[in-house]
Chains A and B, each alone.
Chain A
Amino acid sequence: MTAATAIGETIEFLAASLETDNVPDWDVGVHDLLEMVIDLISEGDAEGLHAFYAAVERFRSTVHVPIAMADIAPQLQVLTTLLSLAAVRPGQKQTEELALREQKILRVLDDAGTPLDNSQLASRSGHDQAVVSRALRQLRAAGLVTAHRDWRRKLNQLTDKGREIVDAMAGPENVREHLSVFLAKLLEADARPADVWAIAHKAGVKIESVLVSKRNSGVTDVEVDIANWRISVPGESDQQARFQLAKGLARLAALAEFPISAPKGEHADLPLTPMAHALPLWQGSRQDAVFESICTSALLMPELPTTLLYLKCGDVLQVADAFKVTEDRAVERLQQLGLHQPTIVVSQDDPQPEPFPKSSLH
């Protein structure tokens, strides 16, 4: 079963559920789609991800959401935003193109400090030898690793270019910084410090202190001190630690329940948020796998605070204010993130329903 077939079949299922206004089917279909993208990300399957993104974009550009199912719009938006952000990786271009397993092998070689043969690399990276051989072929072709024979053993070592790439990969400190920023933004978004403690605790992140002080001007200063940020995974490498941290990030994002628009339903006047409905889609079975995979997307989106803030308030001026930048700068940044037109239009009783606006995301 190829990823493209599975994706195509699920998209068809989603389209059918839309045609019949079948909300439960739509819910499980979106859940499947989310888990698929998460699986693809965690496997570093770039080809599958591209196929996924193309399929979802096609779907999004042609689908007509009936007014009866208007509340699915935020879900679709979350999905496409997540995908688009997952497709944009930070760091040098060449790092972006490396799948996670290749990055791990580079990291293992760098950590070892001495040349390693294939079996050593396999045992230290946790991949089997066939995967390591395939990855090494790519790395050698890219000029990041060289191999030489020592008696009967074929030893691999990093080239200078390979070392540069390892250095360019986001280090633990960067991730820690991202987490601080993210938590700070959580607090700015009126999450109570107690909530942040609880959320971080759930994510396995220990927070030493959260300091919130309000200035007379009404601006809130937030200082979050995070310690013990490495979530324990026996024998983990820095790479794994970063993933574990990013997993925490994604979990924080999921639990924070950032609002996108006014909630529907009988409790409309209560502090409920549509994200509370959309994000629990991530909270289904195999939670470890789900979060482990969402982590990767979180790792790949240092812009998460900006994105979530924008999704929350939907107003450039508020983003500019939150980040203490000019309006032009905020617009520029949001455009870079492909978020200058985030609103999904839900057609009314129009005989020629207006399709969703095409995303400018890549």
Chain B
Amino acid sequence: MTSSPADLFLSLWATIEADKASLDLTMPPTFDANLKRVARSLVQAEPFDMERAVQWTAADPIRALVVAQAIDNYYAPLSEGSKVVHLPTGLRQARRRLRRDGWLANVIHGGSVILRRPLSGRWSDPAMAVPEGEGAAAFFDTLLVAPPTVEATSPDDPSQPSQVSLRFLSCRPDQVRLPPTTSWKVGLAPVTQELCDLAISNGSHGRFTCYDSVAADLTNRIFTIVQALCEAGCHLIAFPEMALSPATLDALKAAVAIHGPNSQLMLVLAGSTPTHLPGADRPFNRSCTLNHRGEVLFSQDKLARWNLTTSTCDRYGLDGSSGMLMEHIEVGTELVVAELPGLGRFATLICEDLGRTQPGSWIRKNLLLDLQFTPVMDSDLHFERWSAIDGSRAAYEGGCRVLVASSLPLSLMQNDANAARSIDIKVEHPGIGLFFDRIEEGVRGLQIKTHSAGSEPIYEVVEWDPSTWNDLNIT
């Protein structure tokens, strides 16, 4: 496999990151013109001579930055969308690699070199993202390095750091439908909408008391919902956390395969499902992203458990007498960031993963997400709650759009618990969704409530139009 300038960029990145304190951002314009010219000729040589470039770079530390900036500049036509017929051979090959794999360098164990602005378009305005302002990334306009692992907070202890691996993937244009040029229509369906649709049970596992949440198999309901949302012209359909049993997920795939191709549907964000894998004692809390043909594009496991304190158990009428209730799931060790044609970068952070600072904050700031999906299993979503505070902050710092979807049973459980404790608070119309979008200096948000109840399938269709939403304060 031949080396490309991106491979050299990757190897230079670590050097620059280490030396960044001594590198002055005002220096590059004053570099000797001859230095820049040599760097440019090394980078643009066809075929690219890695050995020669490495030799020249190794002679002087400052050359690392000059060459890396020449490489950054070399790939700029890809970001600018230059016509493919006019691209030099090396860039055309790089473009193919980006389209096929999503990254540029041949060697990926040291991280992936990706484009700062996705090759296949963005949904959001990258200028809205709050720049990191530090690190090697500040020296470059075109390229980014996505490391193999990123820091995360521990699955059970928010004060402890851990590491998750980062998987960057690109969906090919034949896998995903073209996004709309007009406003998006988003369909939300709680799926689990009655108390009997969700069973939360306690059990003892070793020295821990855990809870399992299991949704009923609601295959008929899911067919009705998908058909209705497809006919309503939805581009995105989002489901909540743990609202889909494995059987319901299969039904969802089949329903999308039937109704999706003849609709405007682009993506289905399939909330999450308890997914049992061989060798694992506990299920994974896994969210799948489907295309309009019902095919799974990628999936994401929940990275941190939502462990219930005694007061949280009281709020929902759960038995918390044995202390902390641990969520009985295996946690994921990988975070998937997908590049979707025309939409940009997308990641799913399930429930508690939104509340944890990392890795969400890192990927939003450094990989410039366009859309973040957060399925939750929670009571009434409104602007005073954690999901709104963390969701709006996520939209602000990432300059991205954030979509939170929830189900109904916990709202109903909270109503019952309040009634049992003679607390006169009853939520008649629970919030089942929160949308956030970065607008200039602030964030706007929308709360989606449902006014329906009972066993008839509940769904809401909402246009993504931030101009009509509420201005939110970022704390």
**A interface residues with partner B (beta carbon < 8 Å):** 1, 3, 5-7, 9-10, 13, 24-25, 27-29, 31-32, 35-36, 39-40, 43, 48, 192, 195, 198, 201-202, 204, 254-255, 257, 267, 270-273, 276-278, 280-287, 289
* Interface-side segment among B14-22, B94-102, B348-356: B94-102
Nearest chain A CB to B127 CB, angstrom units: 19
Q: Does any Cβ of A come within 8 Å of B119's Cβ?
A: yes
Q: Does any Cβ of A come within 8 Å of B285's Cβ?
A: no
Nearest chain B CB to A14 CB, angstrom units: 11
Instruction: Assess the B96–A13 pair: CB atoms within 8 A.
Output: yes
Instruction: Assess the A267–B257 pair: CB atoms within 8 A.
Output: yes
With A198-B233, A272-B293 known as contacts, the answer to whether A283 contacts B178 (CB < 8 A) is: yes
Report the interface size for chain B: residues with CB under 8 A from the other chain: 35
Instruction: Assess the B181–A204 pair: CB atoms within 8 A.
Output: yes
Contacts of B207 in A (CB 8 A): none
Q: A257-B261, A276-B261, A280-B177 are in contact. List 12 more A-B contacts (CB 8 A).
A: A1-B89, A3-B85, A13-B96, A24-B172, A35-B84, A36-B85, A39-B84, A201-B182, A204-B181, A270-B258, A284-B99, A285-B173
Set B84, B180, B182: member contacting A32, Cβ < 8 A: B84
Task: Give the complex CA separation of A3 and B86 in angstroms.
Answer: 7
Contacts of B124 in A (CB 8 A): none
Nearest chain B CB to A352 CB, angstrom units: 32
Contacts of A192 in B (CB 8 A): 262
Q: Does any Cβ of A come within 8 Å of B205's Cβ?
A: no
Instruction: Assess the A202–B261 pair: CB atoms within 8 A.
Output: no
Instruction: Assess the B92–A285 pair: CB atoms within 8 A.
Output: no
With A272-B293, A284-B173 known as contacts, the answer to whether A10 contacts B92 (CB < 8 A) is: yes
**B interface residues with partner A (beta carbon < 8 Å):** 81, 83-89, 92, 95-96, 99-100, 119-121, 172-174, 176-178, 180-182, 233, 257-258, 261-262, 264, 293-294, 341-342
Set A3, A29, A280: member contacting B173, Cβ < 8 A: A280
In the complex, 10 of the A-B residue pairs with CB atoms within 8 angstroms, ordered by the A residue number, are A1-B89, A27-B174, A201-B182, A202-B180, A257-B261, A267-B257, A273-B261, A278-B174, A283-B341, A285-B341
Nearest chain B CB to A7 CB, angstrom units: 8
Instruction: Assess the A285–B120 pair: CB atoms within 8 A.
Output: yes
Nearest chain A CB to B231 CB, angstrom units: 8
Task: Count chain A CB atoms within 10 A of each CB in B85, B119, B172, B342 and give the residue with the most.
Answer: B85
Task: Give the complex CA separation of A40 and B84 in angstroms.
Answer: 10
Instruction: Assess the B180–A277 pair: CB atoms within 8 A.
Output: no
Set B81, B174, B176, B261: member contacting A286, Cβ < 8 A: B81
Task: Give the complex CA separation of A280 and B178 in angstroms.
Answer: 7
Nearest chain B CB to A69 CB, angstrom units: 14
Contacts of B293 in A (CB 8 A): 267, 272, 276
Instruction: Assess the B178–A32 pair: CB atoms within 8 A.
Output: no
Specify the chain A residue showing the minimal Cβ separation from B120. A285
Nearest chain A CB to B99 CB, angstrom units: 5
Specify the chain A residue showing the minimal Cβ separation from B264. A198
With A31-B173, A280-B177, A283-B173 known as contacts, the answer to whether A6 contacts B96 (CB < 8 A) is: no
Task: Give the complex CA separation of A272 and B85 in angstroms.
Answer: 32
Task: Give the complex CA separation of A1 and B178 in angstroms.
Answer: 30
Instruction: Assess the A28–B100 pair: CB atoms within 8 A.
Output: yes
Nearest chain B CB to A96 CB, angstrom units: 22
Instruction: Assess the B172–A28 pair: CB atoms within 8 A.
Output: yes
Task: Count chain A CB atoms within 10 A of each CB in B81, B177, B178, B233 and give the residue with the most.
Answer: B178
Instruction: Assess the B81–A285 pair: CB atoms within 8 A.
Output: yes
Contacts of B262 in A (CB 8 A): 192, 195, 271
Specify the chain B residue showing the minimal Cβ separation from A4. B85
Task: Give the complex CA separation of A7 and B85 in angstroms.
Answer: 7
Instruction: Assess the B121–A285 pair: CB atoms within 8 A.
Output: yes
Nearest chain A CB to B268 CB, angstrom units: 15
Instruction: Assess the A280–B83 pair: CB atoms within 8 A.
Output: no
Task: Give the complex CA separation of A28 and B174 in angstroms.
Answer: 9
Task: Count chain A CB atoms within 10 A of each CB in B84, B121, B258 and give the residue with the most.
Answer: B84
Contacts of A1 in B (CB 8 A): 85-89
Task: Give the complex CA separation of A254 and B178 in angstroms.
Answer: 10
Instruction: Assess the B99–A28 pair: CB atoms within 8 A.
Output: yes
Specify the chain B residue showing the minimal Cβ separation from A191. B262
Nearest chain B CB to A289 CB, angstrom units: 7
Nearest chain A CB to B74 CB, angstrom units: 14
Instruction: Assess the A40–B85 pair: CB atoms within 8 A.
Output: yes
Contacts of B96 in A (CB 8 A): 13, 25, 28-29, 32
With A201-B182, A272-B261, A272-B293 known as contacts, the answer to whether A32 contacts B92 (CB < 8 A) is: yes
Contacts of B81 in A (CB 8 A): 285-286, 289
Task: Give the complex CA separation of A327 and B379 in angstroms.
Answer: 66
Nearest chain A CB to B129 CB, angstrom units: 20
Contacts of A267 in B (CB 8 A): 257, 293-294
Contacts of B264 in A (CB 8 A): 198, 202
